[in-house]
Amino acid sequence: MSLKEYEASFLQYVRKMLNIQEAISVLYWDLRTGAPKNAVSQRSNVISQLSSDVFKMSTSNDMAHYLITMEEAISAGKCSLEVVKTVSYLRKLYDRNTKIPVDEYEAFIKCQAISESVWAEAKEENNFAKFEPYLTEIIEYKRKFVEYLGYKDCKYDTYLDQYEPGMTVKKLDEVFADVRNKLVPIVKAVSASGKNFEKEEMKAFVSIQKQKEICEQLLATLGYNFDAGRLDPTPHPFATSLNLGDVRVTTKYHENNFEKALFSTIHECGHALYEQNISKDLEGLPIAQGASLGIHESQSLLYEKIIGQSYEFWKMNFPKLKEQLSGVLDNITLDEFYKIVNNSKPSFIRIEADELTYPLHVMIRYEIEKDLLDGNIQVNELPSIWNQKMEEYLGIVPETDREGVLQDVHWSMGHFGYFPTYALGAMYAAQIKSTMEKDLSNLNELIETNDFQTILDWLKVNIHQYGAMKEPQEILKDVTGEELNVKYFIEYLESKYSKLYELEEVNKS
CA end-to-end span of the chain: 80
Where does the pLDDT of residue 57 fall: very low under 50, low under 70, confident under 90, or very high at 90 and above?
Answer: very high
* Alpha-carbon distance values, 371 to 69, 294, 374, 407 (Å): 42, 22, 5, 19
Contacting residues for 259 by C-beta, under 8 A, at least 6 apart: 202, 340, 341
Query: What is the CATH code of the structural domain delimited by 169-208+218-508?
Result: 1.10.1370.30
Helix (H, G, I), strand (E, B) or coil at 33: coil
Where does the pLDDT of residue 188 fall: very low under 50, low under 70, confident under 90, or very high at 90 and above?
Answer: confident
255 as an active site residue: the answer is: no
The answer to whether the predicted template modeling score (pTM) of the entire model surpasses 0.85 is: yes
For residue 507, pLDDT beyond 50: no
CA 375, 380, 386, 387: dihedral to nearest 10 degrees? -140
Q: What is the pLDDT of residue 506?
A: 39
Active-site residue, selected from the candidate residues 7, 116, 137, 268: 268
Q: Residues of CATH 1.10.1370.30 domain(s) within the chain? A: 169-208+218-508
Q: What is the pLDDT of residue 38?
A: 94
Report CA Rg, the chain: 23
**Please, how many CA atoms are within 13 Å of residue 266, restricted to the half-sphere of its CB?**
22
Rounded Cα distance between 21 and 385, Å, is 37
Neighbours of 309 (CB within 10 A): 18
Q: What is the pLDDT of residue 509?
A: 37
Rounded Cα distance between 185 and 188, Å, is 5
Where does the pLDDT of residue 113 fall: very low under 50, low under 70, confident under 90, or very high at 90 and above?
Answer: confident
Rounded Cα distance between 247 and 231, Å, is 10
Burial class, 314, CB count within 10 angstroms (exposed 0-12 / middle 13-18 / buried 19+) = buried
